[in-house]
């Protein structure tokens, strides 16, 4: 299932091919996904912790403000003060519990399956088997967060304050909690303990716009010879020097390249096929060459012949 060649034989998809996976949709179509890198996960988590802490901070401030208000109101008789104080304390305890436990649940159960931190770095939770992300899975992956995240924090705070713990137990405990914290680094899918139990993984969001047609001037055939690109005619020999890899490099240059890059690429192609490079006309030349090359390679593709790059012969 994770055989990358099954889908996209020769295209480099991302900068980190180690994190590329294939998830088969229920319709049976393999979809390319990219596992979120450990750095992105850590960044999202740090953001979430900051958000949770500031929520707790604001609730505390709000409670204190109300308390101060009550203090002014009940200044005369402190006996009646206990009632509202109790209510406030209940609200505070419950909301801290909810922030700590329900924040992740609420956001990961939503349509985007991501907390604010995850949204900010562009990652989301998904079911590993390509099925629906169920509520049980989200609950399971977040309930384990307690040992992975909060326990180490509590542990660190305790060991830093308590002098009594012997250094052996301190170190043993530290290594134990570190094991959970660093668990994602020790497996190739970057699974956290919670992901392992819930059958989930965290993947990158993709958001790509549909670009224009790569070579607009050369794309349309016209009967009369007004199209400047039709000045260039290439022979089979001219086109047989490159494969798909070069075609896609050329596509990138045409889509985003600067004038300088166009010139360099045009002159190296001319050199390769033995043409004299002209000047001032690079884009039109490249578009014509791109279209002709792509037409040739796609024709081969329809007959089951593909050519990876200039070093390989078509199969």
Which CB sits closer to other proteins, 162 or 279? 162
Can you tell me which residue has the tokens 């109101």?
A: 73
Q: Which of 207, 226, 236, 258 binds other proteins (CB under 8 A)?
A: 207
Q: Which residues contact 12 (CB under 8 A, 6 or more apart)?
A: none
Which of these ranges, 43-51, 56-64, 70-78, 127-135, lies near other proteins under the rule CB under 8 A? 127-135
CA 79, CA 72: separation in Å to the nearest integer? 14
Which CB sits closer to other proteins, 178 or 271? 178
CA 263, CA 286: separation in Å to the nearest integer? 9
List, in sequence order, every residue forming a beta bridge with 30; answer none if it has no partner.
24
Does 135 bind other proteins (CB under 8 A)? Our answer is yes
Which of these ranges, 50-58, 68-76, 140-148, 157-165, lies near other proteins under the rule CB under 8 A? 140-148
Q: Which of 39, 76, 78, 211 binds other proteins (CB under 8 A)?
A: 211
How far is residue 143 from each of residues 100, 123, 159, 291, measured CA to CA in Å? Answer: 11, 20, 24, 55
Does 255 bind other proteins (CB under 8 A)? Our answer is yes
Question: What one-character DSSP code corresponds to residue 81?
Answer: G
Residue 170's φ and ψ, nearest 5 degrees, are -60, -45
Q: Please give the size of the binding site for other proteins, defined by CB under 8 A.
A: 81
Which of these ranges, 25-33, 40-48, 61-69, 167-175, lies near other proteins under the rule CB under 8 A? 25-33
Which 292-311 residues touch other proteins, going by CB under 8 A? 294-295, 297-298, 301-302
CB of 92 to other proteins, least distance (A): 9
Which CB sits closer to other proteins, 40 or 196? 196
In the three-class reduction of DSSP (H, G, I as helix; E, B as strand; rest coil), residue 9 is classed as: coil
Which of these ranges, 110-118, 163-171, 267-275, 277-285, lies near other proteins under the rule CB under 8 A? 110-118
CA 61, CA 67: separation in Å to the nearest integer? 10
Q: Which of 35, 40, 45, 214 binds other proteins (CB under 8 A)?
A: 214
List, in sequence order, every residue forming a beta bridge with 202; answer none if it has no partner.
125
Does 11 bind other proteins (CB under 8 A)? Our answer is yes
CA 55, CA 275: separation in Å to the nearest integer? 67
């Amino acid at each position: 299932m994770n055989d990358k060649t099954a889908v996209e034989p020769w295209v480099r998809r991302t900068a980190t091919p180690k994190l590329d996976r294939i998830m088969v949709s229920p319709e049976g179509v393999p979809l390319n996904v990219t596992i979120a890198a450990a750095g992105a996960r850590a960044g999202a988590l740090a953001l979430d912790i900051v958000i949770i802490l500031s929520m707790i901070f604001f609730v505390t401030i709000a409670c204190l403000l109300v308390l101060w208000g009550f203090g002014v109101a009940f200044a005369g008789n402190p006996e009646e003060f206990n009632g509202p104080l109790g209510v406030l304390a209940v609200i505070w305890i419950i909301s801290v519990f909810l922030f700590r436990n329900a924040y992740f649940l609420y956001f990961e159960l939503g349509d985007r399956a991501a907390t604010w931190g995850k949204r900010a770095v562009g990652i989301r939770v998904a079911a590993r088997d390509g099925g629906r992300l169920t509520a049980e899975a989200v609950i399971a992956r977040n309930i384990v967060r307690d040992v992975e995240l909060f326990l180490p924090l509590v542990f660190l705070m305790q060991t830093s304050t308590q002098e009594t713990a012997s250094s052996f137990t301190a170190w043993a405990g530290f290594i134990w909690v570190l094991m959970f914290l660093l668990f994602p680094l020790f497996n190739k899918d970057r699974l956290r303990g919670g992901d392992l139990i819930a059958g989930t993984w965290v993947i990158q969001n993709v958001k790509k716009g549909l670009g224009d047609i790569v070579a607009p001037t050369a794309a349309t055939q016209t009967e009369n010879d007004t199209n400047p690109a039709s000045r260039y005619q290439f022979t089979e020999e001219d086109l047989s020097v490159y494969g798909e890899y070069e075609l896609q490099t050329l596509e990138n240059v045409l889509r985003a390249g600067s004038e300088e890059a166009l010139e360099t690429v045009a002159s190296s192609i001319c050199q390769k096929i033995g043409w004299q490079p002209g000047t001032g006309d690079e884009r039109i030349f490249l578009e014509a060459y791109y279209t002709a090359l792509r037409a040739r390679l796609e024709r081969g593709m329809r007959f089951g012949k593909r050519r990876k790059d200039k070093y390989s012969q078509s199969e």
